Chain A
């Protein structure tokens, strides 16, 4: 009784947060952890926002993915933004997460590349940092900060942009396809080819259209 009274505004915020997260591609696990809405409500919200049932299956759980070349650069960009928002500007954790993810998407869209880091991956990344499994290491060449396994000696660390592995970015068909067809409106093509990159994070490839709109349109 008391609960439902006091929480009308709070509940609204929770719903808004859930909607924002769903629009950006969040899975049910993320929503259940980050909001206090019931599973039933979240399911209904999800269907209303996306028009389909949420995908089933586990969230990615390996830290290694974040250390591979492309994902590492994207993860580092995202986490750098998140850290500035929380540490320098005092944004609250989950608000900062959503904002940082939007700012990350914005940049990726500007670069005409794929959002390699899906929202669920970004959230997993955040949790890995919070549990101390990952840390940032400073590149001795460009002084950017990059995602690393915790407790890795990083005195002479050089990042994947300053010293890319020889085959970096060349293996993926998505890339060559992207260059062949580089035009204004090949979003659909890109998205299809983005699928293998984001396999475990399947919804990430999908909500890009939505994300584009969100990035371009209103945000709160």
Chain B
């Protein structure tokens, strides 16, 4: 039997190759986030000072919605030709499959963020007053927080009727502390008024708790039938 790290790697490479050839998730996410940026920008029309205060919220709301678009497609792809049932009967550990899917989504959403950040800077005249390098750990930890829960809840919602709408309904309430931490950390860094240290620690705690929880419980979700 193959090692679980091999299964994770193979599944991840397969997903990346599929995405590279079709670019379904990335294109829809990018266009969606672009629309959010444009609509917010002209509905608020903020000055540089104002935008520094509200940008944290806007950026993360845009990324959250875009991430939902991508994460929704994670498992739907495996329903065709009963691929998910094949996973279920195979002796491969469920966790390595989950990790591969979560890492894949993490890469997609990170690429999206890297492409969208310049646009945010242009549209909102952003310039960080606080230590800008801290935005990097906030982005990485925040993205992982969204993606690990998103991948997990997407696996839960493919079993329900109207699964597309089910994912945000499950994901948003649980993500409130992570979202608050990301938004507040980003705003603190941009305005330079507060230290973002506490929020980064909170994000680390959130990531550790939910990564452990999801890995422990994923087996039950995959085999729930």
Q: Do A and B bind each other?
A: no
> Which residues in A have some Cβ–Cβ distance to B below 8 Å?
none
